[in-house]
Amino acid sequence: MKILANDGLSQPGIDVLTEASFEVITTNIAQEQLISYINDQKITVLLVRSATTVRKELIDSCPSIKIIGRGGVGMDNIDVEYAREKGLSVINTPAASSSSVAELVFAHLFGGVRFLFDSNRNMPLEGESNFKGLKKAYAKGIELRGKTIGIIGFGRIGQEVAKIALGLGMNVLAADKYIDATDIEVSLFSGASLKQSIETISIESVLKQSDFISLHVPAQKDYVIGSKEFSMMKKGSAIINAARGGVIDEVALVNSLDDNKLAFACLDTFENEPKPEVKLLMHPKISLTPHIGAATLEAQDRIGVELGQQIISILG
């Protein structure tokens, strides 16, 4: 049976599948040619990440497909319910990339509190001519230890963020519609571990009390954070979105930054991917990455292996 990993697959994932006698194709097929290619090659399994969409038309037009797999968590690029109604298996890897996304949150946070995102823009331009001026401009950083991080969406990724925050000595607040409380276990390199019980509170309470807000919610119809929510946040606080584009009202975000309500923002996802608004890209108070939350070598290896094991379990 043939598997098309249209957005790529790690070598460990390919190895798991080829050892089980599957043929894995990693050629990237353009979206408009995908239906024709699947039918010509009689593809049984279609694996995607965020770049390829799997909508009703493709599902109806490709009778050979038995499994649709998403390398990662969110499946908003797949018509999941319709596929399952048609008898297809739809799989993803919700746990494989949690640590990678959580680490990116703190890469942004560390950069934000020490102005690294802006310093890295200006040092090549002014480092020689205005070294003292830049030093003065970036000399009012703060430490994360002792600060409060508010996590909105306390699933797997949110809990991984909490683990790192606790390890840094931060106070952790969390809001979630479906989770009332959970035990967070921080594993040490030695093999020892520490446990902390965290009870969730209202989003309003999290917004009002936190120095930093980190979003970990799925894509949805309405903004999770808009003008009203920004108005609740502490003056000088910051927000990080490594979840999905569209959960933050980007116009309201820019206004809050320009009004000095927020000290900075960190964005890994955008409303208009792959063409984020220029106002975001050029803003001196926004730390930017191009949707790379899950893009570590370790996460991609875990994703590939987990997808392979699920496919073997279903078709083996």
Q: Which residues are catalytic?
A: 244, 273, 291
- The secondary structure of the chain in percent helix, strand, coil, rounded to multiples of 5, reads 40, 20, 40
Q: In this structure, which amino acid lies at residue 302?
A: R
Task: Give dist(CA 238, CA 108) in Å, integer.
Answer: 11
3-state secondary structure of 304: helix
Cβ neighbours of 309 (radius 10 Å): 17
Distances 184 to 124, 197, 210, 270 between C-alpha atoms, Å? 42, 6, 19, 29
Say how many Å lie between the first and final Cα of the chain, rounded: 11
**What dihedral do alpha carbons 308, 310, 315, 316 form, nearest 10°?**
80
Q: At what angle do helices 297-315 and 98-113 cross, to 10 degrees?
A: 160
Alpha-carbon distance values, 297 to 9, 12, 64, 72, 198 (Å):
11, 11, 31, 13, 31
Taking Cα atoms as reference points, which of 243, 242, 267 lies closest to residue 253?
A: 267
Residue 127 has which token pair? Answer: 């480092």
Burial class (CB in 10 A: 0-12, 13-18, 19+), 26: middle
The CA distance from 145 to 48, in Å, is: 39
